[in-house]
Amino acid sequence: MNIGLHHFRLVDAIVKEGTLTRAADTLHLTQSALSHQLKELEHELGLSVFFRNGKRLELTPEGTRFLHAAERVLAELISLEADMRHIRDGVSGTLRVTTQCYTAYHWLPGIIKQYKRISPSVNIHVVSAATYVPLEYLLRGDVDIAIVRNKLDNPRINYEPIFEDQVFAILSKNHPLAGKSHFCTEDFEGQELFLPFNDPASGNIPVIENLMKAHHVTPHHVHRIHYTDAIIEMVDANLGISTLADWIVQPYLENRDIVALPLPAEVANRTWCAATCKDTPAIREFLRCLKLHFQNIPLPLSSDAV
């Protein structure tokens, strides 16, 4: 059977309005066009949908069955249209988010909580599997927002600055270099260096390693560790040194025997961005929540504070 959506609307309107004339007005059709559609439907069904009772049209038993189907179809269509409108307007749907640093997932819940107060029907999916290659996932369409510190030159990606941080050298208070006012690139020479793990396949080499290579500085050994807590414990035990961002190390300074020394400006200052390939109300609202969150975070460590 070749039954179209207009047939369901036709029967629904005739039942509600009672006459072809009023139904035609409701559907913005001429009475002739409406009568033609009704004949077309009955031809497809091979059955009568209505019978005349005076001036009114009343449903046949077969027409009643068709009406029940029409009510379900039209109700589902209304629901579908509302869902699509909500997704388009950022009222509902799914937003997939990732960051370029596992430690960043410590502050991400606070942003999600703030966002959910504004858009409770939007489901936030944190894609932690994309952490080492966030922009690759973004370009594939597997995430909607990637919070990154490294950029890829691609015209499809838009970068929105979110916050700035500073990287410090982290040492035990008992380390021979702990009394310095700042940490030079040459100070990494011969040191046991603990760095956050980076997937070699990502090609994302930390800036500090590139700087040491440029200055022909060679640590005794570079240990790559997945977890920030483990890095802090190694430094606290005076087994080596590390480099970490101010917002990462700040919570550990009060209850660990460690110090944070400023690094050269070319590696210390970083700008984090929200990378996107699409522009939707849901994405724009999440970016707004990101900016509001970082306007209220504690100021970075200063040389006076360390």
Question: Taking residues 170-190, what's their average pLDDT?
Answer: 93
Please report, for the chain, how many H helices and E strands are present, in that order.
11, 11
Are 19 and 44 members of one domain?
yes
pTM of the model: 0.61
Are 110 and 146 members of one domain?
yes
Are 43 and 188 members of one domain?
no
Structural domain includes residue 305: no
CA gap 296, 88 in Å, rounded: 30
- Of 50, 73, 88, the one marking the end of a domain is 88
CATH classification at residue 287? 3.40.190.10
Helices 61-88, 5-17: crossing angle, 10 deg rounding: 110
- Of 35, 56, 88, the one marking the end of a domain is 88
Q: Which domain holds residue 258?
A: 164-269
Give the pLDDT confidence score for residue 89 in this predicted structure.
65
Q: Determine which helix (DSSP H) or strand (DSSP E) holds 170, and give its type and residue range.
A: strand 158-172
Are 127 and 199 members of one domain?
no
- 272 or 226, higher pLDDT: 272
Q: How many domains would you assign to the chain?
A: 3
**3-state helix vs strand vs coil in the chain, percent to 5:** 45, 25, 30
* Candidate from 47-51, 266-270, 279-283 with smallest mean pLDDT: 266-270
What pLDDT, in 10s, does the model give residues 27-75? 999 989 988 999 999 898 888 998 888 777 889 999 999 999 998 998 8
| Predicted confidence band of residue 294 (pLDDT cuts 50, 70, 90) | confident
| Predicted confidence band of residue 86 (pLDDT cuts 50, 70, 90) | low
Structural domain includes residue 257: yes
CA gap 230, 112 in Å, rounded: 27
CB of 147 closer than 8 Å to CB of 100: yes
Are 216 and 252 members of one domain?
yes
CATH classification at residue 14? 1.10.10.10
pLDDT greater than 70 at residue 220: yes
| Helix/strand/coil for 46 | coil
pLDDT greater than 90 at residue 237: yes
